[in-house]
Amino acid sequence: MTARFTGKVALVTGGGFGTGRATALAFAREGATVVVAGREPRDLRETVKLIEAEGGTADAVIADVTHGMDVIRLMKTVVERYGGLHIAFNKACLVGDPKPLFDMCEATWGENLATNLTGIWLLMKHEISHMRENGGGIIINNSTNISFLEGRVGFGAYAASKAALSALTKTAAQEHIADGIRINAISPGDVSAPGAPYGQMADDDEIASAVVWLADEESQFVVGHDLVLDGAVTA
């Protein structure tokens, strides 16, 4: 049986731990060449080592998605080393220090928006630019089920940035489906990744399997959707 993504190049930002790492491994098991990106070299190297130990092909690129030049360099590196980009899972995110809005400093607010919204916009901007010129592709953004709830005390900046990301995803999907670029998002509930804001509600591999499905031809009619993955558990 041929693996689903043989001959494809997949980029996973935030690929050094948790759901990002699990998704990178899942793509590699399905035959993709996987590039993981993030801020922490040691974490990324560990992901690459795990993929290679299973016989997969992987690479790591250090990049901060809040810096436009880093994103440009990341895309250039992926394309030059591997000839293109077919799938992107934009997992990079920041939860930050939970605080009520009245007690939140401007820096915390700005950091959440810079990573969770502006950073993903920068990634999509350059991913889309490449994909439009090369026959299309798949983009999946990582949001949160908090966007669909009544709110979570102390996570106003995180929730606002992710809700905006969901809206941005749907708009981008409408703008670029005619270019052959299929864009969706996932909105997980609590997962077992380090730094998750609440307890453990889902396994990283379960979330990764949904990302892989959205990247596969089986879901080709799913466009501009934000897939909530929380087991209907909201508290």
Residue 128's CATH number: 3.40.50.720
* DSSP secondary structure string for all residues of 126-159: HHHHHHHTTT-EEEEEE--GGGGSS--TT-HHHH
| Domain total in the chain | 1
**Is residue 1, in this structure, part of any structural domain at all?**
no
Contacts of 46 (CB under 8 A, 6+ apart): 16, 21
**Is residue 105, in this structure, part of any structural domain at all?**
yes
Percentage of the chain modeled with pLDDT above 90 = 73
Which of the four pLDDT bands, split at 50, 70 and 90, describes residue 157? confident
**Is residue 4, in this structure, part of any structural domain at all?**
no
Nearest of 232, 132, 147, 128 to residue 186 by alpha carbon: 147
**Model pLDDT, residue 196:** 47
Residue 62: exposure state from Cβ atoms within 10 A (0-12, 13-18, ≥19): middle
**Model pLDDT, residue 158:** 87
Exactly one of 158, 159, 165, 184 is catalytic; which is it? 158
Cα–Cα distance measured from residue 29 to residue 6, given in angstroms and rounded to the nearest whole number: 10
**Is residue 235, in this structure, part of any structural domain at all?**
no
CA max distance for the chain:
56
**Is residue 128, in this structure, part of any structural domain at all?**
yes
How confident is the model over 6-29, as pLDDT tens digits? 999 999 999 999 999 999 999 999
**Is residue 3, in this structure, part of any structural domain at all?**
no
Q: Which two tokens stand for residue 150?
A: 């009544």
Cα–Cα distance measured from residue 68 to residue 116, given in angstroms and rounded to the nearest whole number: 14
Q: Is 198 in the active site?
A: no
Cα dihedral across residues 145, 164, 221, 65: positive or negative = negative
Across the range 58-65, mean pLDDT stands at 97
Query: Could you tell me the residue range of the domain that residue 53 belongs to?
Result: 9-229
Cα–Cα distance measured from residue 139 to residue 169, given in angstroms and rounded to the nearest whole number: 9
**Is residue 234, in this structure, part of any structural domain at all?**
no
In order of 79, 144, 153, the CA distances from 228 in angstroms are 31, 8, 20
Across the range 73-99, mean pLDDT stands at 93
Q: Answer whether residue 172 shows pLDDT above 80.
A: yes
**Is residue 189, in this structure, part of any structural domain at all?**
yes
